[in-house]
Structures are given as structure tokens and as C-alpha cells.
Amino acid sequence: MGAGIQIREAHFPGRAPIDAYGNGGFRFADMSHRGSLLCLPSGIHGWDALSADDLTPAHFAKVIDEAAEIGILLIGAGTEILRLPKALREALSEAGIAADTMSTGAAVRTYNVLLAEDRAVAAALIAVD
């Protein structure tokens, strides 16, 4: 008898530009993903962040694990631009990660440009409607 449906953590094992965003998700690599994303050197991962207001260092554990391969982290904070909480700024700084916070749309556009230039860029993108 088959194992049935298996739910796996969302992960695309490569780097790819983001083709579209909105309606609560993203399109990339001929696929779509509902929810937020982490675009890292190890690939594109589903991310459990729902709002920039609630971000903690725990949301960035995968980012910190890959810090040695990241030159800049773009944080797409939804429709608003906000200052990251102090504890999160300190955790990223201690890991040697330079972070720039902007709207999700601006982060997607900037990520795509830096990715096309083969730069060491990562992005944490909160889904927008």
C-alpha cells in the first residue's frame, strides 16, 4: 500500500530570479509558491514569516547558517518599509550579514538585478496580496 500524501518543506535547490509576486505568493523557475520565501545560496525555501512586525532572529536561522556565502541580505517587508527590531539587527550583524530592508516589490527587483550580476545576494521576502 502507498505511503499516501507526504508534505515536505518547500524548497527549490538552486538560485532563480523571481518572475512575479503578489496574491499572497511568488512565481519562479516555472513554479509558484504561496507564502513568504527565503532566497539563499542553497536554494529557495518556503518561509513561515507572515508580517515584518513579528520578525525575530529565529526566522533567520537558515540565513545565519549560510552567512559565509551572503554578501547582502535584502528583506522584503511587505508593503511598508520598517526598521528591524534591535535583537534581529544585532543577530544579523553578529553573523556578519549586511541587511537592507525595503518593500517586497523593491526587494524582488533588487534581488533579480544582483542575482543577474552573479552577486552573493540573499532575500527574505514576505508575501503580499
| Domains in the chain: boundaries | 11-125
End-to-end CA distance of the chain: 41
Among 5-14, 28-37, 46-55, the range scoring the smallest mean pLDDT is: 5-14
Position 7 scores a pLDDT of 47
> Residue 47 — left, alpha, or beta (φ > 0 → left; ψ -120 to 50 → alpha)?
beta
Q: Is residue 102 over pLDDT 80?
A: yes
What pLDDT score was predicted for residue 53? 86
Q: Which three cell numbers stand for residue 15?
A: 538560485
The CATH code of the domain at 11-125 is: 3.40.1230.10
What is the pLDDT, as a whole number, of residue 3?
Answer: 59
Q: What is the DSSP pairing of strand 18-22 with strand 11-12?
A: unpaired
pTM metric for this prediction: 0.91
Cβ within 8 Å of residue 116, ≥6 positions away? 17
More confident residue, 129 or 5: 129
